[in-house]
Structure 1
Amino acid sequence: MWNEDLKAQFQSLAPGRPDGELSRRDFVRTALGVGFAAAAGPVIAQTVVQTSVDGLLAGEVRIESGGQKIPVYRAQPKGKTDLPVVLVVSEIFGVHEYIADVARRFAHQGYLALAPDLFVRQGDPMAYGSIAEVMSKVISKVPDVQVMQDLDACRNWALANGGKAGHVGITGFCWGGRMVWLYCAHAPVQAGVAWYGRLVGTPSDLAPKNPVDIVKELKAPVLGLYGGKDQGITQESVEQMRKALADGSAAAKASEIVVYPDAGHGFHADYRPSYNAKDAQDGWNRALAWLRQHQVVAVAAADEPPQDGMCQTERGFPQTFPVDKLLSG
């Protein structure tokens, strides 16, 4: 049974659609980070950004957490060590092609990026054809404490495998945006970037606290990026969070929330109709600057992968996502 928070998140992801309306598509995962989640809806091939793996070590690794092997998409510059680390937390759709691509974008900036499958114990979001199914059959069963444990395991693995202690950040989208706030209160990371993550909600056994409840516990400053037209995350809740941050810890006071008036939920998701290229690019630039400002810095300069879907072939990126690959992905 959904609670009101999950219903609000559904409205953000699928505004105006009745529960379960979306049918299953032919985008089926064959490996972590491949293909697109059927439940995410129609894929807009013209705006999908595909980032090259050239010069990267990229693919799936397995990291043990609480007796469970967690599949994790890892991307980093080849032959480099002592790298700053960024944990990439997915939307409710899991680690599909978009999240893997975001990890590769960070790797081209000089980061060791890890995007863990945080739903592996509860199910595979890629197996369901509607947002309603994903949320009721998978997301509603994932406890926050499990997510914190798995992210801890990824952070520890990164520091033992080429990552640089004291230079760890975290970013996340939608469901993952909420986890960024929580993790920055839980773990010794240097900074977080939360993309349209839920801020307030009703406590439950699996989710006892929300970001607004942990501002006094924040250990690292968070940049929150939100859409002014988000139907699930209201501007009232954003203002409530701003006020709470002002009365929070030093890290809370150093946090910042940016609202893009013309953007809705999922404005960075370049594969979805919600994508807003202008605001996505600005958010990406702010995210990189935020990580640098708070010492989660890349050790080597790199070309920044474009965010607008028109990628330069001389950088190793096709101008548009190849539709034949999309359909076979």
Structure 2
Amino acid sequence: MADFIPTRIEIPGPDGTVPALTVEPSGEVRGGVVVIQEAFGLTGHIAQVAADLAEAGYRAVAPALFHRSGSPVFGYDDLAELGPVIGAMTGDGIAADVDAAISELARGGVEPGRTAIIGFCMGGSVAFATAARRPLGAAVTYYGGGIAEGRFGLPSLLEMAPDLETPWLGLYGDLDAHIPVAEVEQLRHAAQGADVPTEVVRYPDADHGFHCRDRSSFHPASSADAWRRTLDLLTRQLG
């Protein structure tokens, strides 16, 4: 990450500016990626993901979805404190912030067709909802919940699945107590009804947060395979 250090920027939004992190690749820009935060904010993990994407040749922008609450960043044990912040979020506000990040990439010359969205935890659900709302180059969900029951005033992922407009990859751990395997399989089936390519990959030894090195649930083998699949999708869809 030393060679790809995230920069803090402010991007225009419909109700003011949106704080964000951005990282530029050192050479040719292969495409752009909107990185959607965990439920804990723009953590060091999200900054690392953005840096990893820049190292792979993609400009990354990670909007601070908590900016209406002051852009807090929580520790992984601060569940009581983050509840009210998440509860204040709305589907319209989230969509506005995501669209602002997509527009930021477009201003830099990366059009939506060469833009992907990747989200983790809460952000995985946001990535899915975005993929069902507008066409992009690719979308990746890392252990995103809300499969059977919608969040933030949005429909459930199962309800949105047939409307996917963006090629989508879902990555889930079988040990995730928050996301039942049965629901993941329901989502796999529902997504197959979309008009775009979709894929669900399950990791039998992985728990929630398996891609985050800062969490006790980090699972190196599952993380490495998931990241390889993510970059393969970006290569196929963005270049």
TM-score with structure 2 setting the length: 0.93
- SS of residue in 2 equivalent to 1:74: strand
The residue that corresponds to 2:57 in the other structure is 110
CA distance in structure 1 between the aligned counterparts of 2:233 and 2:48, rounded to whole angstroms? 20
The residue that corresponds to 2:194 in the other structure is 249
Question: Does the CA contact (< 8 Å) of 2:6 and 2:47 recur in 1?
Answer: no
The residue that corresponds to 2:206 in the other structure is 263
The residue that corresponds to 2:8 in the other structure is 60
CA distance in structure 2 between the aligned counterparts of 1:57 and 1:279, rounded to whole angstroms? 25
Q: What do residues 213-269 of structure 1 show as CA deviations (whole Å, max 9, x unaligned)?
A: 1122110121100000000100111111122123x2212xx2110000011000001
Shift of 1:131: 1.1
- SS of residue in 1 equivalent to 2:114: strand
Write the mapping of 1:145-294 to structure 2, written as runs, cut at 5 A.
Answer: 145-203=92-150, 206-246=152-192, 248-251=193-196, 254-293=197-236
CA distance in structure 1 between the aligned counterparts of 2:63 and 2:82, rounded to whole angstroms? 17
Write the mapping of 1:28-39 to structure 2, written as runs, cut at 5 A.
Answer: none
CA RMSD of aligned residues (A): 1.8
CA distance in structure 1 between the aligned counterparts of 2:5 and 2:209, rounded to whole angstroms? 28
Question: Does the CA contact (< 8 Å) of 1:92 and 1:125 recur in 2?
Answer: no
CA distance in structure 1 between the aligned counterparts of 2:13 and 2:55, rounded to whole angstroms? 27
The residue that corresponds to 2:42 in the other structure is 95
Question: Does the CA contact (< 8 Å) of 2:27 and 2:57 recur in 1?
Answer: no
- SS of residue in 1 equivalent to 2:117: strand
The worse-fitting range, judged by mean Cα deviation, of 99-108 and 153-162 is 153-162
CA distance in structure 2 between the aligned counterparts of 1:203 and 1:274, rounded to whole angstroms? 25
Question: Does the CA contact (< 8 Å) of 1:178 and 1:211 recur in 2?
Answer: yes
- SS of residue in 1 equivalent to 2:153: coil
CA distance in structure 2 between the aligned counterparts of 1:162 and 1:57, rounded to whole angstroms? 21
CA distance in structure 1 between the aligned counterparts of 2:124 and 2:142, rounded to whole angstroms? 5
Question: Does the CA contact (< 8 Å) of 1:171 and 1:194 recur in 2?
Answer: yes
Question: Does the CA contact (< 8 Å) of 1:57 and 1:77 recur in 2?
Answer: no
- Over alpha carbons, which structure has the higher Rg? 1
CA distance in structure 2 between the aligned counterparts of 1:155 and 1:284, rounded to whole angstroms? 22
CA distance in structure 2 between the aligned counterparts of 1:207 and 1:158, rounded to whole angstroms? 27
The worse-fitting range, judged by mean Cα deviation, of 69-78 and 226-235 is 69-78
| Structure 2 gap ranges (5+) | none
Shift of 1:201: 3.8
Q: Relative to 1, partners in 2 of residues 1:117 and 1:215: Cα closer, same or farther, differing over 3 Å?
A: same
Select the structure with the greater relative contact order (CA < 8 A; seq sep ≥ 6): 1
Shift of 1:126: 2.3
Give yes or no for the alignment of 1:142 onto 2:89. Answer: yes
Q: Relative to 1, partners in 2 of residues 1:201 and 1:132: Cα closer, same or farther, differing over 3 Å?
A: farther
Question: Does the CA contact (< 8 Å) of 2:174 and 2:181 recur in 1?
Answer: yes
TM-score with structure 1 setting the length: 0.68
Count, aligned residues = 238
| Structure 1 gap ranges (5+) | 1-50, 298-329
Shift of 1:57: 6.8
